[in-house]
Chains A and B, each alone.
Chain A
């Protein structure tokens, strides 16, 4: 538990009641589990315990519990979170439903998704915006194949924080040994998935044990209780480690001849007036003159803020372009190797042609090659000629024009995309860039089998970020190739500044060669946090 506790915020003074909303932070979380694990009960209980359920809804719950509930004489908290009428009758949830509750310290958005294999796409959608995942386990059943599947999907979408909610402890007589066994089994099952922190908590969601109040039926447990943990867990530690400014241009704001601004949301890093930037894919240089908002110009804007930038001199910038820090090692590409999760009933067509939406850019994308599918139980590669709904695979995509892309592990904003069927307009796949250029074919057997496989990763945050990565060797080569444009830009800039081509060359070569060493040095300074030992607190 020490690792989890070490990341806690220091307790904050309770703000005055009318300013709570202005102070609170936001945590987005995802709950994974099947109906039988008590997932809806857990969410209903969180809403109930945080007083998010008004009296009139409680009265309705009392009526519904008698009518639909699985326990006629008790409030069935699961009914608080059931949605559409058809689903209510079937007794299962079949979509992503969003729930909201708040405490003094935080507001929470819960993506409630079904756990069955045929709803993998729904879970992935819920995970795409989540900071943390609650993986539910039924204590009477222990770690199941679905547990590993859920964890793999969550990990693939880049969620780094997991709460292992071991539910139904009442049915195993609150036995600590059973709880410990489950925690150990889970650690073994997900050791390769690169979660930053796994926090196990024994629960009885139905009765509220260890949700908002500490259970006196499990006095052996000394770790955090669920609501406290959700309120205090720090999930944004990685924010400062990616300082490169990335700004996908969303809309050109041109009300009159005197103003031309580029509106968008800062995907990473920060920006200030005077910053030198490059506009991709064109590669023009520019200087930021103003950071405009309706509340006045800003001296500095940072990741997550929606702003409007103006440039010192007129540039040809349009929606889909990306404004980045000058010299950033980002470039435009005509193709990527990416992981796809197929979401449509119509399977992926061979050499299919789709629209790709990546950041704010849209282009035509064709499937140059499906490398392989990934078995979602073991997360191992398997041969495939197509992808059906809920299948995951690794494919090479070619674009009809250059797009600014980055590996998903480095940039969610420039590494995530959707594919759209041009005929039906359906969103047919969600994708995560593995490599911002189509990977060259290496030895077919080696690359074909291991690409995308789960490789036990060295315990370094940099590596942990790429959960289901390909061969380390291939990655290293790709990284080398990707550093070259950055180094070239640096060469030109250094040459312009120093007017000394030799010095500029030295700087550029040093940049290309030494950046990995700098990254490794940084990784050594921040050791792996996945050292949490379940059940020992």
Chain B
């Protein structure tokens, strides 16, 4: 009897977590942010419930500033898989003119993403929301639980998190409280790409290098995905061979120069890489412990 491989063990653990929620939550939802982690999450969910269809809808909190390729990919995948997709936009924020370019990353993320997420969860009364966060992403996430309890106000209290011995998750909650559930907590960025390659999971083409129009701004290469991003005086739009390690709002997501046009290239590049994937995310650099602060406020 041979030992299960690392990825087989991770896959089984994730499937176990998905089923635990399906069996205990009244109204679960899966947060679908279209990136590679979401792609893996969706793939695992389909495996967990096969041959039944997904017993919950997908929710995309759209800030209206996602890359066009992401939206196209989202709609195509949902059609292919026959999933139910809920797209939520914070209309209040939109009316107030909040945007990542002039409002700043902090305000934009808080209003369009964090507040938007809360609105959607409240509107649909979801009591468990799957997310693709991984503990290896950021230091303050290393202690995040798989089942993360949120108050009725969606706050995360670091002092009120339950111990999770073995795989015995305590799924009890009071009315109004909800869980954020992270089935790929124990996966690393390497694992995600290895699994995508192994299982042939479709991902947004932006992960692969291609000639793209970018502007060098604040030390990052920002892709000019549409005309809302106007070059400042002195800035030039250049066509460079770039790809993205993470995907978010395009004005807040830095590209990396790369020639990796295939999955094998990406994996090889990542193994040799000397920088972390979140480096390209402008939001994380807002201040020491800033991610932790956002988490307490309800950022996923």
Interface residues of A (CB under 8 A from B): 17-18, 20-26, 54-57, 81-86, 88, 95-100, 102, 106-107, 109, 112, 121-122, 124-125, 128-129, 236, 239-240, 250-251, 253-255, 259, 261, 263-265, 270, 292-295, 302, 304-306, 308, 319, 343, 355, 357, 360, 412, 416-418, 420, 425-427, 430
Distance between Cα atoms of A21 and B9 in the complex (Å) = 12
10 pairs, CB–CB < 8 Å, chain A vs chain B: A17-B271, A21-B194, A25-B4, A26-B9, A26-B10, A85-B289, A100-B186, A255-B51, A306-B11, A427-B162
Report if A425-B173 is in contact (Cβ < 8 Å); known contacts: A99-B142, A292-B51. Answer: yes
A98 contacts B186, CB within 8 Å?
yes
CB-defined contacts of B69 to chain A, threshold 8 Å: none
A265 contacts B198, CB within 8 Å?
no
Nearest to B193 among chain A residues (CB) is A21
Distance between Cα atoms of A343 and B49 in the complex (Å) = 34
Known: A84-B292, A343-B163. 12 other contacts (CB 8 A): A55-B275, A81-B142, A98-B135, A129-B166, A129-B167, A254-B52, A255-B52, A261-B51, A295-B47, A306-B48, A308-B50, A425-B170
CB proximity of A98 to chain B, nearest CB, Å: 5
Nearest to B52 among chain A residues (CB) is A255
User: Looking at the complex, which of B14-22, B73-81, B207-215, B231-239 is the stretch in contact with chain A?
Assistant: B14-22
Report if A430-B135 is in contact (Cβ < 8 Å); known contacts: A22-B7, A292-B50. Answer: no
Q: B150-187 interface mask toward A, CB cutoff 8 Å, 1 = contact, 0 = none? A: 00000000100011111110101110000000000110
CB-defined contacts of B7 to chain A, threshold 8 Å: 21-22, 24
A56 contacts B276, CB within 8 Å?
yes
Distance between Cα atoms of A420 and B49 in the complex (Å) = 28
CB-defined contacts of B16 to chain A, threshold 8 Å: 250, 265, 306
A293 contacts B166, CB within 8 Å?
no
B292 contacts A55, CB within 8 Å?
no
A253 contacts B52, CB within 8 Å?
yes
B47 contacts A304, CB within 8 Å?
no
Nearest to B289 among chain A residues (CB) is A85
Does B230 sit within 8 A of A, measured CB to CB?
A: no
CB proximity of B299 to chain A, nearest CB, Å: 15
B166 contacts A56, CB within 8 Å?
no
- B interface size (C-beta, 8 A): 65
Does B103 sit within 8 A of A, measured CB to CB?
A: no
A412 contacts B6, CB within 8 Å?
no
A357 contacts B168, CB within 8 Å?
yes
Distance between Cα atoms of A17 and B265 in the complex (Å) = 11
Q: B264-300 interface mask toward A, CB cutoff 8 Å, 1 = contact, 0 = none? A: 1001100101111001000000001100100000000
Distance between Cα atoms of A96 and B19 in the complex (Å) = 24
Distance between Cα atoms of A416 and B167 in the complex (Å) = 9
Distance between Cα atoms of A106 and B190 in the complex (Å) = 13
Report if A305-B4 is in contact (Cβ < 8 Å); known contacts: A294-B50, A418-B170. Answer: yes
B168 contacts A417, CB within 8 Å?
yes
CB-defined contacts of A261 to chain B, threshold 8 Å: 51
CB-defined contacts of B52 to chain A, threshold 8 Å: 253-255, 259
Does B102 sit within 8 A of A, measured CB to CB?
A: no
Interface centre among B135, B139, B174 (most CB of A within 10 A): B139
Report if A109-B197 is in contact (Cβ < 8 Å); known contacts: A24-B5, A129-B166. Answer: no
A98 contacts B142, CB within 8 Å?
yes
Distance between Cα atoms of A8 and B186 in the complex (Å) = 26
CB proximity of A407 to chain B, nearest CB, Å: 15
A54 contacts B165, CB within 8 Å?
no
Nearest to A426 among chain B residues (CB) is B162
Nearest to A266 among chain B residues (CB) is B12
CB-defined contacts of B271 to chain A, threshold 8 Å: 17
Report if A305-B190 is in contact (Cβ < 8 Å); known contacts: A24-B5, A236-B3. Answer: no
Distance between Cα atoms of A304 and B289 in the complex (Å) = 37
CB-defined contacts of B46 to chain A, threshold 8 Å: 294
Distance between Cα atoms of A18 and B268 in the complex (Å) = 7
B136 contacts A100, CB within 8 Å?
yes
Which listed residue, B1, B4, B5, B48, touches A270 by the CB 8 Å rule? B1
Nearest to A110 among chain B residues (CB) is B142
CB proximity of A375 to chain B, nearest CB, Å: 22
B197 contacts A18, CB within 8 Å?
yes
Distance between Cα atoms of A23 and B8 in the complex (Å) = 10
